[in-house]
Structure 1
Amino acid sequence: MSFAFIVPPMASLLTIKSPSFHFQVTQLLVLLIVLTPAQSISHCRTSCGGVPIRYPFGVDDGCGSPYYRRLLVCSETGNLELRTPSGRYPVRNISYNDPHILLTDPFMWNCLDRDNFRPTRAFSLDTSTHLSLSPQNDYLFFNCSEEDVIIEPKPMFCERYPDRCDSSCDSSSYLCRHLPECASALRSGSCCSYYPKATESLRLMLKYCASYTSVYWRNIGAGPYDEVAEYGIRVDFDIPVTTRCLTCQDNLKGGGICGFDTQTENFLCICDGRNDTASCKDRGFSGHGKTAVIAGTVTAVSGAGAIGIGAGIWFWRKVRAKAPVTCGVQTNDNRLF
């Protein structure tokens, strides 16, 4: 629906003398504000830095699931990062079929460091979130103190099932003998493999080791053993599936985006600038619809409307000082429409 106002030339407007002009201009300004189409300046971005953003995640507040609120950040440089208690980490990829996030930790040891074991910080996750460190991660520690850390070879069985083995750091692990991308990077430093069960055990290891790195096993085939080792951190996540979200995403019902109210965290179906509690084609849309629920989204008057309002205020102030008092009577001479 569109609306148009026929505005007389300014010269003719200046000849209008009306005692009720204040009331009429007020009505005009209200009409301009109400009838000017609202513009949603922000929306739910579907990617950041080439990484797709889908439910349950969102980089705009109010998008996705509230379980993962404010965990992903699209930086000022356009790169996707995961926020954790230990810092912000670049996101390499997000898999939604096998739900996990692949992270890069620039503080960890890499092949370019070789025997230069620079200090690093322990990676950690907030245990109150729906994120967890994947058991497909392996951790390599370098130049550990043999007086404080038990360093000894382990059977091959322990490499894939660390929970069933003792707490020693394996000095003969496959990864220490075949470092990914740089098998012969270490010449004088020692290496051992250990899977920390908690952040505290990781910090304790780093207290007695010069540095560490994380290696995850990426599946490249159909079989469970068709994997290659790559540097990085794999973080698993859950996808909370609800009937309301499935209904919202149904293309036959409008194809909305699952989101939530930023104040109450109640479910909302985000529908191209407007939101609903069910779906984008819900019959009760006009009664339940909300605007500007996503933080950072501003419902604003268009530029033309703002100019019109400014001109109206200026014109009202100019004419009001000259308008004669006629007890509010409207005649054909002072009629606006």
Structure 2
Amino acid sequence: MDSFTSFLCLCSIIFQSISLIEAQASLCRTTCGDIPINYPFGIDDGCGSPYYRHMLVCSNLGNLYLRTPSGRYPVHSISYSDPHILVTDPLMWNCRDGDHFRPTRPFSLDTSTPFTLSSQNDYLFFNCSEDYVIVEPKPVFCERFPDRCDSSCDSASYLCRHLPECADALSASSCCSYYPKATESLRLMLRYCASYTSVYWKTIGSTTNSPYSQVPEYGIRVDFDVPVTTRCLQCQDPSKGSGTCGFDTQTHNFLCLCKEGNVTSYCKGHDISKHKRAGVIAGTVTGISAAGAIGIGIGIWVLKKVRAKAPVTCGVQSNENRVF
């Protein structure tokens, strides 16, 4: 009876491993909540471009996050026509805070990735110490000290005088606008300022030449590049099978992910069975059956080694039921 129970425990572990490989047979998810996930991004490993691997995370509740060296940030939207991601930082100042400032953190990006902070962002800093920060109205200050213009924080900023959505939120606090050229500059500013927030200029309508075609909104705009390759275009081509662009999770080499398996070119007209791989997105039944056969073989070998009267505690190892 003990040997039979050991066999059941072992079979349970084997079937869990097989189920894991089966889960990899599903194609890449194309949404997280109501946000579309298209190339070059992927929320399943092996999907999209390897340059953006593990950058986006979709929670069990359907919330999308961008991972950066400074933390995880909720993604508000993704635009693929004008490639950018809009993220928010819950620790940044917002209208509800008013003159009360909470501890915050400097936002940063990994410079080795194809992400860049958009020039359409403006940063507002609050209650900065004038002993360490040059807080001056820029037009006048820059005329007098042109060599120090870039290092000044503009107290005459339009956004400070017209805070988006809450123009009168600040009653006893100072505000100035400054664009940090590097993460270290942002850290230094936050060392001498109570808090900060980011405002991006959102394009409205289709008339980009109009001076009134942009409105300020809170958030951080992060621009990204779309690495377009001939193989990816062929893979996505409906006449060639409408595959999904992906990559081998071990080598990062390009793969076209098809319903029947993976190929290195495009889905239609290729013998996909020759390119099936286990352990990569869109894995195959062949990989599953092989894993099952190996697992059962190991199970039989282990059962021969287990002592017949050894107590069984499935998943718990003691000196009495230790196999190795």
TM-score above 0.5, yes or no:
yes
User: Does the 8 A contact of 2:92 with 2:196 survive in 1?
Assistant: yes
Highest CA radius of gyration, 1 or 2?
1
Per the normalisation by structure 2, the TM-score is 0.76
User: Does the 8 A contact of 1:245 with 1:258 survive in 2?
Assistant: yes
Correspondence for 1:223: 208
Shift in Å, 1:249: 0.1
Correspondence for 1:321: none
User: Does the 8 A contact of 1:42 with 1:297 survive in 2?
Assistant: no
**Aligned counterpart for 1:276 among listed residues 263, 267, 277:** 263
2:272 pairs with 1:285: yes
Correspondence for 2:244: 257
Shift in Å, 1:39: 7.4
**Aligned counterpart for 1:152 among listed residues 113, 116, 136:** 136
Per the normalisation by structure 1, the TM-score is 0.73
CA displacement 1:162-205 (0-9 Å, x = unmatched): xx952100001000000000011000000000000000000000
Give, as a single letter, the amino acid of the residue that structure 2 aligns with 1:77. Answer: L
**Aligned counterpart for 2:66 among listed residues 70, 79, 82:** 82
Correspondence for 1:128: 112
User: Does the 8 A contact of 2:277 with 2:283 survive in 1?
Assistant: no
Give, as a single letter, the amino acid of the residue that structure 1 aligns with 2:208. Answer: G
Shift in Å, 1:223: 2.2
**Aligned counterpart for 1:196 among listed residues 165, 180, 197:** 180
2:84 pairs with 1:100: yes
Structure 1 spans left out of the alignment, 5+ residues:
1-37, 159-163, 314-337
Correspondence for 2:281: 294
Shift in Å, 1:272: 1.5
- Higher helix proportion (structure 1 or 2): 2
- 1:273 and 1:74, CA in 2 relative to 1: closer, same or farther beyond 3 A? farther
Q: Distance in 2 between matches of 1:249 and 1:208?
A: 51
Runs of 4+ in 1 over 4 A off after TM superposition: 38-41, 295-301
Partner SS state of residue 217, structure 1: strand
Q: Distance in 1 between matches of 2:192 and 2:199?
A: 20
Partner SS state of residue 273, structure 2: helix
Shift in Å, 1:289: 3.6
CA displacement 1:24-75 (0-9 Å, x = unmatched): xxxxxxxxxxxxxx77554310000211000000000000000000000001
Correspondence for 1:14: none
Partner SS state of residue 255, structure 2: strand
Shift in Å, 1:269: 0.2
Give, as a single letter, the amino acid of the residue that structure 2 aligns with 1:235. Answer: V
Give, as a single letter, the amino acid of the residue that structure 2 aligns with 1:266. Answer: N
Correspondence for 2:34: 50
User: Does the 8 A contact of 1:81 with 1:89 survive in 2?
Assistant: yes
Q: Distance in 2 between matches of 1:40 and 1:94?
A: 26
Partner SS state of residue 112, structure 1: helix
Give, as a single letter, the amino acid of the residue that structure 2 aligns with 1:275. Answer: N
Shift in Å, 1:296: 9.5
Equivalent pairs, count: 263
Partner SS state of residue 190, structure 2: helix
Structure 2 spans left out of the alignment, 5+ residues:
1-21, 143-147, 301-324
User: Does the 8 A contact of 1:43 with 1:273 survive in 2?
Assistant: no
- 1:106 and 1:295, CA in 2 relative to 1: closer, same or farther beyond 3 A? farther
**Aligned counterpart for 1:247 among listed residues 225, 230, 234:** 234
User: Does the 8 A contact of 1:62 with 1:295 survive in 2?
Assistant: no
User: Does the 8 A contact of 1:149 with 1:168 survive in 2?
Assistant: yes
Q: Distance in 1 between matches of 2:284 and 2:105?
A: 37
2:173 pairs with 1:186: no
CA displacement 1:80-139 (0-9 Å, x = unmatched): 000000000000000000000000100000000000011100000000000000000000
- 1:39 and 1:184, CA in 2 relative to 1: closer, same or farther beyond 3 A? closer
Shift in Å, 1:263: 0.3
Q: CA RMSD in A?
A: 2.6
2:99 pairs with 1:115: yes
2:164 pairs with 1:177: no
CA displacement 1:231-287 (0-9 Å, x = unmatched): 000000000000000000000000000000000000000001511000011434332
User: Does the 8 A contact of 1:273 with 1:291 survive in 2?
Assistant: no
Q: Percent identity?
A: 72
2:217 pairs with 1:234: no
Q: Distance in 2 between matches of 1:88 and 1:282?
A: 42
2:124 pairs with 1:140: yes
Name which of structure 1's ranges 68-77 and 190-199 shifts more when overlaid on structure 2. 68-77
Give, as a single letter, the amino acid of the residue that structure 1 aligns with 2:51. Answer: Y
